[in-house]
Amino acid sequence: MWRASVLSIFPDMFPGPLGVSLAGKALTAGAWALDVVDIRNFAADKHRTVDDTPAGGGPGMVMKADVLARAIDAAAADARPLLLLSPRGVPLTQNRVEALAGGPGVVLVCGRFEGVDERVIAARGLEEVSVGDYVLSGGEIAAMALIDACVRLLPGVMGAPDSAAEESFTHGLLEYPHYTRPPVFEGRPIPEVLLSGDHAKIAAWRRAEAERLTRERRPDLWAARDRKVTKPAG
Ligand SMILES: C[S@@+](CC[C@H](N)C(=O)[O-])C[C@H]1O[C@@H](n2cnc3c(N)ncnc32)[C@H](O)[C@@H]1O
């Protein structure tokens, strides 16, 4: 079974949003498993200290390598990828999410304070993963985002099996616009083609809209797609 192990100094934040809706139902149904490890349980003193002042001075505190290493050693005894949520990590993409969802699960280390002692990152081979170019106060919400993105791709979790195939990023395009009843909302009608019943025309319209939105909103994705399309074979 796909398993997420999360190492955090705020274990009570879990399952949080992962306990409701699709992910929550799948968790209750046993489609995936979650264990949360309290990093403080691996501290060596009676105050359960997990952080210390930065070598070289400067603001904030740093998560201690020895405490974190003990927590990791207790949680990560199998072949699952060992990831540290980190703003300086490789940005998470739908491709990576698909690969992670197709594996045995993940072990996720949630940073806090100014960050994590570099030596434990090197010593335990932590792979740094970012959820975007902004700074959160801790890795927990980033871990939840990663887990949620993976869990919805697990077999049987999403209602309609085609949903994932058509979504943003799956084919290097953003998704086309959606509409539902009423046919007119505040003077804005549903595009006529969607009510035509002509499936080929509808598919062509959706494709054109997906391309237009990607060109307008994400020139980076569009350029990457262009490069793939024009790349010579071989
Ligand atoms: C306040 S942040 C530390 C930021 C760090 N001093 C820096 O400038 O890169 C504390 C923790 O939040 C998590 N975090 C913050 N932003 C993140 C992001 N964009 N993606 C993934 N994790 C993030 C990381 O685990 C990080 O160690």
What whole-number distance in Å separates Cα of residue 48 and Cα of residue 50?
6
Kindly report the protein residue whose alpha carbon is nearest to atom 18 of ligand 1: 87
Q: Is the CB of 60 under 6 A from ligand 1?
A: no
Residue 186 DSSP label: T
- Gap between the Cα atoms of 35 and 33, Å rounded: 7
Q: Name, in order, each residue with C-beta under 8 angstroms of 10's C-beta and a sequence gap of 6 or more.
A: 110, 112, 138, 140
Cα(122) to centroid(ligand 1), Å? 17
Compute how many other C-beta atoms are within 10 angstroms of the C-beta atom of residue 37: 20
Determine the pLDDT at residue 159: 77
Query: Which pLDDT does position 125 carry in this prediction?
Result: 97
Q: Measured from the CA of 116, which atom of ligand 1 is nearest?
A: 27
Question: Hunting for tokens 């399952």 — which residue is that?
Answer: 15
Q: Which of 135, 137, 144 to mutate to test the pocket of ligand 1 (most atoms within 8 A of CB)?
A: 135
Strands 62-63 and 51-52, by their bridges, are antiparallel
pLDDT reported for residue 227: 82
Closest CA to 127 of 74, 72, 176: 72
**Those residues with Cβ within 8 angstroms of residue 60's Cβ, 6 or more apart along the chain or in another chain:** 54, 113, 114
53 in Cβ contact with 172 (< 8 Å): no
Give first-to-last CA distance, the chain, whole Å: 38
Please give the pLDDT value at position 232. Answer: 58
Nearest CA to ligand 1 atom 6: 114
Please give the radius of gyration of the chain, using alpha carbons only, rounded to the nearest integer.
Answer: 22
Per-residue pLDDT of the chain (234 residues; tens, 9 = 90+): 999 999 999 999 999 999 999 999 999 999 999 999 999 999 999 999 999 999 999 999 999 999 999 999 999 889 999 999 999 999 999 999 999 999 999 999 999 999 999 999 999 999 999 999 999 999 999 999 999 999 999 999 997 767 777 788 988 999 999 999 999 999 999 999 999 999 999 999 999 999 999 999 999 999 998 787 666 554
**Distance from residue 37's CA to the centre of ligand 1 (Å):** 19
Ligand 1 pocket check: which of 8, 136, 140 to mutate, most ligand atoms within 8 Å of Cβ?
Answer: 136
**Do 139 and 108 contact (CB within 8 A), yes or no?**
yes
Give the C-alpha separation, 57 to 138, whole Å. Answer: 21
